[in-house]
Amino acid sequence: MKRALGRVFSTEHRRLGVMYLLLALAAVAVGTTLSLLMRFHRVWPNAVLPYFGVMKPEDYLALVTMHGTLMIFFVLTTAPQSGFANLVLPEQIGAKGMAFPRINATAFWLTVAAFLVLISAAHITAGGAPISGWTSYPPLSALPAAGPGQGLGMDLWLVSIGIFCVAAWLSAVNMLATILGERRAGMTWGRLPMTVWAWLVASILTLLAFAVLLAAVVLLFSDRHFGSSFFIPMNDMINGRVVGHGDGSPLLWLHLFWFFGHPEVYIAVLPGMGLATSLFANFTRRRVAGYKMMAGMLVAIGLLGLAVWGHHMFVSGMNPYAGTAFAMVTMAIAVPSTVEVIGWLATLWGGGLRLQTPMLFALGFLSFFIVGGLSGPLLAEPALDAYLHNTFFVVAHFHLIMAMAGVFGVFAGVYYWFPLMTGRLMNEALGKVHFWVSLIAAYGTFLPMHFAGLAGEPRHYDRLAGPATNFAALIPVERGITYSALLLAAVQLVFLWNVFVSARRGRVAGENPWQSTTLEWANGTAPTRIEAGPYEYELPQGEGGFHPQWESAPKLE
């Protein structure tokens, strides 16, 4: 019993990495189910669904809230960063372990607690889950009387996010101290694998952004319970009663939230970018084109990402000149992103691609990154955003570039590092089925949303044709999207089957099954001093074609 407890509450980083990934798996399962319920309701609004019966509009909004919260916080912030970094970061930099193993473990268990509190917000409260979205704008989120689920459900949501903020802070402190202080001798900044650069930038963003979110959550909690009015405007009226007694400003919440919210989406996608770089090098057997530039662009994206939050607020009524400033910085951030893409393409171009499953998912990441990224500069223009804000165009944009790219990055990582977790390889045929069907179904789900958005279809409406709205012409599009979404969700079962069956009966992997150069595959043979670069491929055939980082200095060219 004591040993079992010791194993569960372990501070060993690889075990924590796997536990983070399992937590993310639970969250994505719930989040996907919620999204399917949403899709069902949009196309068949009067259908009787399990658990809801006939869904009411507030139920739909509750689904929107929980789907967004679960996916962004508990899937995209945990799996790519905490999950994989705990799995391989110490090995990749030649460290013995994380700098603060117990703080690391504490952060994990706090994340679990936050998850449980969030789930309870939906189930144990009389009013149900909150309906104010993952962005929880006041006054809707600041006043319990403002809507169903905005009482105890909203409070529990705030508590959950508050706990998550503390967990993220601890995790970031641990990761930064590890990357800066625990590198092995010889592991210079120029020899770090790109994944480590990505985790470094993402950790800095985590440290800065989540602190601001925590402050915002505290202020919102104060508005709800201590009679303050940080966010509730004067003479605000809810249900015919004046509730606003102070000169609060909902715009203040928007500023605070999006100062967190924009770096958050970069935290979600940067680890995938680093992993894509690593995988492209690995599976083309070539060095990373412009390593320093690629690393520098990750840093540039992180830095600029702290300065663009206003592009979520173009139509909020803020000063239009501020909008111009934010628009310019947002357009500027397209530059390092494009440089990254060009770097990837340069690494890939003319290379003999080994199209194994991790590489396929990395290519899928690249595809989603480009397609999703192309709609970014469109939304960055305040003039265009005035029309497109809160339409399905925005939904298409962030689902392609953050959700699908991020998730494909997670898939790539799972397939790639599966041998490290289990000693076995996942099934290639099933992996290819998983990849192709997911790719096509994802595009089938999210590409049509661009057109729906351009046609003016708003977000957060629970039905398209009713007393208040008439987007009935878009129902066929929505039906197509729903079928694609169902297919997308269904093929994930293939992935789950692959994971759990391969873990027991998969083909036994060798020592370095992908013939990688990075240190996590060194299997304990790394020297006391690192002398090689992270991506020493392209060497003459006599040497096996590549020079792992755990061997002594490569020959001069």
Cβ closer to another protein: 211 or 509?
Answer: 211
**φ/ψ of residue 452, rounded to 5:** -60, -40
- Give the binding range for another protein (CB under 8 A) out of 32-40, 233-241, 309-317, 407-415: 233-241
Indicate whether 172 belongs to the interface with another protein (CB under 8 A).
yes
Please give the Cα distance from 315 to 303 (Å, whole number). Answer: 24
Distances in whole angstroms, Cα of residue 198 to Cα of each of 138, 318, 471, 520: 34, 33, 42, 16
Residue 144 and residue 260 in contact, taking contact as beta carbons nearer than 8 Å: no
Indicate whether 215 belongs to the interface with another protein (CB under 8 A).
yes
Q: 3-state DSSP call for residue 178?
A: helix
User: 5, 383, 429, 556: which one contacts another protein (CB under 8 A)?
Assistant: 556
Indicate whether 232 belongs to the interface with another protein (CB under 8 A).
no
Indicate whether 274 belongs to the interface with another protein (CB under 8 A).
no
Give the contact letters, 173-202, x = binds to another protein (CB under 8 A), - = no.
xx-xx--xxxxxxxxx-xx-----------
Pairing of strands 241-242, 53-54: unpaired
Cβ closer to another protein: 135 or 390?
Answer: 135
**CA 374, 380, 382: angle at the middle one, nearest 5?**
140
**φ/ψ of residue 470, rounded to 5:** -145, 80
Q: 3-state DSSP call for residue 459?
A: coil
User: 50, 227, 524, 542: which one contacts another protein (CB under 8 A)?
Assistant: 227
Cβ closer to another protein: 235 or 523?
Answer: 235
Please give the Cα distance from 153 to 63 (Å, whole number). Answer: 13
Amino acid at 553: A
Indicate whether 376 belongs to the interface with another protein (CB under 8 A).
no
User: 48, 226, 429, 524: which one contacts another protein (CB under 8 A)?
Assistant: 226
Please give the Cα distance from 463 to 42 (Å, whole number). Answer: 5
Please give the Cα distance from 442 to 278 (Å, whole number). Answer: 24
Please give the Cα distance from 210 to 164 (Å, whole number). Answer: 9
Indicate whether 230 belongs to the interface with another protein (CB under 8 A).
yes
Cβ closer to another protein: 245 or 460?
Answer: 245
Indicate whether 88 belongs to the interface with another protein (CB under 8 A).
no
Please give the Cα distance from 282 to 498 (Å, whole number). Answer: 23
- Element containing residue 54 per DSSP (H, E): strand 53-54
Whose CA is closest to 366, among 397, 398, 344? Answer: 344
Q: How many residues bind another protein (CB under 8 A)?
A: 66
Distances in whole angstroms, Cα of residue 395 to Cα of each of 309, 398, 440: 17, 6, 18
| β-bridge mates for residue 425, sequence order | 507
User: 536, 546, 548, 550: which one contacts another protein (CB under 8 A)?
Assistant: 536
Indicate whether 307 belongs to the interface with another protein (CB under 8 A).
no
User: 247, 354, 523, 543: which one contacts another protein (CB under 8 A)?
Assistant: 247
Indicate whether 325 belongs to the interface with another protein (CB under 8 A).
no
Cβ closer to another protein: 340 or 385?
Answer: 340
Look up residue 324 and give its two tokens: 């111009």
Q: 3-state DSSP call for residue 458?
A: strand
Indicate whether 96 belongs to the interface with another protein (CB under 8 A).
yes
Q: 3-state DSSP call for residue 341?
A: helix
Give the contact letters, 348-367, x = binds to another protein (CB under 8 A), - = no.
--------------------
328, with CB counted inside 10 A (0-12, 13-18, 19+), is exposed
- Give the binding range for another protein (CB under 8 A) out of 37-45, 79-87, 248-256, 466-474: 248-256
| β-bridge mates for residue 135, sequence order | none
- Give the binding range for another protein (CB under 8 A) out of 23-31, 203-211, 323-331, 493-501: 203-211
- Give the binding range for another protein (CB under 8 A) out of 149-157, 408-416, 476-484, 525-533: 525-533
What distance lies between CA 287 and its chain's CA centroid?
27
Q: 3-state DSSP call for residue 245?
A: coil
Q: Least distance (Å) from another protein to the CB of residue 395?
A: 28
Indicate whether 464 belongs to the interface with another protein (CB under 8 A).
no
Q: Least distance (Å) from another protein to the CB of residue 532?
A: 6
Please give the Cα distance from 57 to 382 (Å, whole number). Answer: 30
Q: Least distance (Å) from another protein to the CB of residue 415?
A: 28
Indicate whether 315 belongs to the interface with another protein (CB under 8 A).
no
Please give the Cα distance from 442 to 436 (Å, whole number). Answer: 10
Cβ closer to another protein: 112 or 215?
Answer: 215
Indicate whether 540 belongs to the interface with another protein (CB under 8 A).
no
- Give the binding range for another protein (CB under 8 A) out of 78-86, 284-292, 370-378, 446-454: 284-292
Indicate whether 326 belongs to the interface with another protein (CB under 8 A).
no
List residues near another protein by CB under 8 A: 93, 95-96, 99-100, 103, 169, 172-174, 176-177, 180-188, 190-191, 207-212, 214-216, 218-219, 222, 226-230, 233-235, 245-249, 252, 255-256, 259, 287, 291-292, 528-533, 536, 553-554, 556-557
